[in-house]
Amino acid sequence: MLKPNDPKNNEQKLKSFSLNSNLSINKKTKKVLIVFLIFIAVIVIGNYHIVLNATDPLRALIFVKRPYFGFSDIFGDINACSGAPYFSVMSNHPSLCRALQNAGYLESEEARSQRIETEIMQKLQLY
């Protein structure tokens, strides 16, 4: 039997109150958790475009749902899509532009053609 002032008794008490012994995770569980986190990250990246929105500080990052699973145009910038000429953006980043149009961040093809028609009609009325 251990005596109250015995150093072995103190070591035993320290081991029983140690946080490391209570929160220990074995190597197999760590590997499973890492694989699970990588799997979730691949699914999120494959299903969403991650778009930077510098104009709105409250919504700096926007996750826009892709129409299909894929890894093209994972990251994008909404200002690059709206500030560049329409046809160059559509030829370089078609899936990102379509997803932004479907989500309502960029004007759709119908709204764009309607806007161009009204601008032309207004310019013709001025002459």
- Does 1 reside within a domain? no
Pick the more confident residue, 73 or 42.
42
- Does 8 reside within a domain? no
The residues, ordered by sequence, that sit 6+ positions from 84 with a Cβ below 8 Å of its Cβ are none
Helix (H, G, I), strand (E, B) or coil at 94: helix
**Entry pTM:** 0.60
**Which whole number is the average pLDDT over 8-14?**
56
- Does 77 reside within a domain? yes
- Does 17 reside within a domain? no
Give 16-47 pLDDT, tens digit per residue. 544 445 556 788 888 999 999 999 999 999 99
- Does 9 reside within a domain? no
- Does 60 reside within a domain? yes
Pick the more confident residue, 19 or 90.
90
Number of neighbouring beta carbons within 10 Å of residue 48: 15
Render the burial of 59-98: b for 16+ CB within 10 Å, e for the rest.
eeebebebeeeeeebeebebeebeeeeeeebbeebeebbb
- Does 91 reside within a domain? yes
- For residue 51, what are the domain limits? 26-126
Check if the beta carbon of residue 51 is closer than 8 Å to that of residue 64. Answer: yes
- Does 89 reside within a domain? yes
**Which whole number is the average pLDDT over 102-119?**
85
Check if the beta carbon of residue 96 is closer than 8 Å to that of residue 51. Answer: yes
Total structural domains within the chain: 1
Report how far residue 110's alpha carbon sits from residue 114's, in angstroms, rounded to the nearest whole number.
6
Q: What is the reported pLDDT for 7? A: 56
